């Protein structure tokens, strides 16, 4: 179900995640794509300022609510380097966006954090499907998940040594 176009969009998300990491934020990047394939909006994680709700998927959902009709939102796809957290999944659901494609899953991230001895986050790790109904969700993509893992490893290893 994940085609070459999807992979191209996901690679852009991973590049945005790396851009976030290089800027001192957490390595997550996402893009919003219209039904006709046009990229409407892209964003990356911006939590370094101290506001831990500054996730790209949340920003895309708010942008969509302000700029797209309900039909356009339903037909749009959100691509993201890492599966939505519960906050972002809820925002996606509340504004009525459509398909989600992710490079790596929340379960993978939880597994990596466990591997590195990092404490679990306060917000629980849930699948998107545990937060919203009726949204087509696809992922992970193994070859891209490896790249995402490396970004998270870099984030955890650099400042703590
Ligand atoms: Zn989030």
66 φψ region: left (φ > 0), alpha (ψ -120 to 50), beta (else)? alpha
The tokens describing 154, both together, are 């870099």
**Known catalytic residue at 57:** yes
For the chain, how many residues are written? 161
Measure the CA angle with vertex 129, ends 135 and 74; round to 5°.
15
What pLDDT is stored for residue 120 in this prediction? Answer: 86
Q: How far apart are CA 9 and CA 95, in angstroms?
A: 22
* Ligand 1 midpoint to CA 74 (Å): 20
pLDDT at 125 over 80: yes
Annotated catalytic residue: which of 57, 75, 83, 150? 57
Q: How far apart are CA 135 and CA 115, in angstroms?
A: 30
Average pLDDT, the chain: 96
What pLDDT is stored for residue 158 in this prediction? Answer: 66
* Ligand 1 midpoint to CA 143 (Å): 22
For 13-41, write each residue's pLDDT tens digit. Answer: 999 999 999 999 999 999 999 999 999 99
């Amino acid at each position: 179900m994940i085609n070459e176009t999807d992979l191209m969009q996901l690679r852009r998300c991973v590049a945005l995640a790396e851009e976030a990491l290089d800027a001192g934020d957490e390595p997550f990047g996402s893009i919003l794509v219209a039904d006709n394939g046009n990229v409407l909006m892209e964003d990356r994680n911006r939590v370094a300022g101290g506001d831990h709700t500054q996730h790209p998927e949340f920003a895309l959902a708010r942008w969509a609510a302000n700029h797209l009709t309900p039909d356009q939102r339903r037909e749009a796809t959100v691509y993201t380097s890492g599966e939505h957290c519960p906050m972002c999944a809820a925002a996606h659901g509340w504004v009525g966006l459509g398909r989600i494609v992710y490079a790596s899953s929340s379960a993978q991230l939880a597994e990596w954090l466990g591997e590195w001895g990092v404490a679990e986050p306060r917000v629980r790790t849930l699948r998107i499907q545990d937060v919203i109904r009726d949204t087509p969700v696809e992922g992970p993509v193994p070859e891209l998940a490896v790249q995402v893992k490396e970004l998270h490893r870099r984030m955890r290893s650099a400042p703590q040594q």
